[in-house]
């Protein structure tokens, strides 16, 4: 019965990860447009408030209560680091450096995620996963170099993008144990609430900038909250609860390739041959890292997730503790 349930959930997990990747890729294009009217902190707060409104309605409709006490450590850490610090740092960093440099630096995140997941959560680092990470990172570097304007990078901007990558990786690793103690919607909604609280010092900027911002920029901010945050962070949580942080991190290496495609379609930025080659490497690395070998009993290529699901279903989550 467990194997049949596991087999049925794998396509849903892959679909949830795919929705997340596509929406996060669209966020890069949208942030560039909204960033002309909104400062980094105000844009992050407005995005989180829009997301919080949607998630709050969902929690009320589904009668979702407060998370259990055991989940609050992971929720608070992911809310501060990922929903709060990451969004502000990324918005600010993209004002200082070109898109290629930002993509290159932020894509250190999945590598940090894999290392932190192995060290703090005891997640396996298979040869196939490491190979996929290496291929995708090479693709991200290729995309970054091909899109770089050359010489316009600011040391401050690189530092902010690196800070965003570290906050992203640490936030995901902190969120993983919380998903074993609370529901996906609880972890996402309350993490968003914590992130919004962290960004409250920017409330004055948000009010003043919203009063004079053009309507398209405000709609872009709302879009960022509803889709790349409320929806995509929920589908991310669903997928993360059913696989490892390192494998999910490898999946996000598809984002740079999709950003290139969306920039081509939406902004009219035609990618060069090197950019397309880098995007293909990103996607190839994701395929390698997510490939599951078959025919070796219950152990091959799975890293034991079926057993983990059984413990979670029985109310006994895997003892994955941060720190």
Contact 286, 253 (CB under 8 A): yes
Helix axis angle, 127-147 to 254-262, nearest 10°: 30
pTM: 0.75
CA 89, CA 196: separation in Å to the nearest integer? Answer: 14
Ranges in the chain, pLDDT < 50: 1-5, 151, 293-323
Q: How many CB atoms lie within 10 A of CB 144?
A: 22
284-302 b/e (C-beta count within 10 Å ≥ 16 → b): bbbebbbeeeeeeeeeeeb
- Nearest partner of 234 among 58, 33, 100, 87, judged by Cα: 58
CA 148, CA 146: separation in Å to the nearest integer? Answer: 6
CA 98, CA 76: separation in Å to the nearest integer? Answer: 32
In the block, residue with structure tokens 């298979």: 126
Q: What is the pLDDT of residue 220?
A: 96
Per DSSP, the residues of 161-188 read HHHHHHHHHHHHHHHHHHTTTS-HHHHH
CA 231, CA 239: separation in Å to the nearest integer? Answer: 13
Q: What is the pLDDT of residue 286?
A: 66
- Nearest partner of 279 among 134, 186, 124, 144, judged by Cα: 144
Which tokens in the block code for residue 314?
């029985």
CA 35, CA 217: separation in Å to the nearest integer? Answer: 8
In the block, residue with structure tokens 């109310």: 315
Phi/psi for 298 (5° steps) reads -85, 0
Contact 82, 237 (CB under 8 A): no
Q: What is the pLDDT of residues 255-309, one digit of tens each?
A: 777 877 787 777 676 666 776 677 677 767 767 765 654 444 444 444 444 344 4
């Amino acid at each position: 019965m467990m194997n049949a349930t596991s087999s049925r959930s794998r396509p849903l997990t892959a679909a949830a990860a795919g929705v997340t990747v596509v929406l996060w890729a669209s966020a890069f294009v949208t942030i560039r447009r909204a960033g002309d009217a909104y400062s980094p902190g105000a844009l992050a707060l407005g995005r989180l408030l829009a997301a919080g409104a949607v998630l709050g309605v969902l929690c009320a409709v589904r009668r979702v209560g407060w998370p259990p006490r055991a989940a609050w450590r992971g929720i608070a850490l992911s809310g501060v680091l990922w929903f709060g610090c990451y969004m502000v740092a990324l918005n600010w960093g993209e004002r200082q450096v070109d898109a290629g440099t930002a993509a290159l630096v932020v894509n250190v995140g999945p590598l940090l995620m894999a290392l932190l997941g192995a060290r703090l959560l005891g997640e396996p680092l298979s040869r196939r996963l490491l190979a996929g990470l290496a291929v995708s990172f090479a693709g991200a570097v290729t995309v970054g170099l091909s899109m770089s304007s050359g010489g316009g990078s600011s040391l401050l901007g690189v530092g902010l993008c690196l800070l965003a990558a570290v906050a992203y990786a640490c936030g995901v690793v902190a969120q993983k144990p919380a998903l074993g103690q609370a529901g996906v919607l609880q972890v996402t909604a309350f993490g968003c609430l914590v992130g919004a609280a962290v960004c409250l010092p920017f409330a004055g900027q948000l009010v003043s900038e919203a009063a004079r911002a053009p309507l398209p920029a405000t709609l872009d901010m709302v879009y960022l909250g509803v889709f790349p945050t409320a929806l995509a962070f929920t589908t991310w949580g669903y997928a993360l609860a059913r696989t490892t942080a390192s494998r999910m991190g490898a999946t996000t290496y598809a984002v740079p390739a999709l950003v290139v495609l969306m920039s081509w379609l939406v902004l009219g930025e035609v990618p060069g041959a090197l950019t397309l080659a880098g995007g293909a490497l990103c996607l190839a690395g994701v395929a390698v890292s997510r490939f599951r070998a078959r025919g070796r009993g219950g152990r091959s290529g799975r890293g034991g997730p079926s057993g983990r699901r059984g413990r979670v279903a029985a109310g006994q989550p895997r003892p994955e503790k941060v720190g």
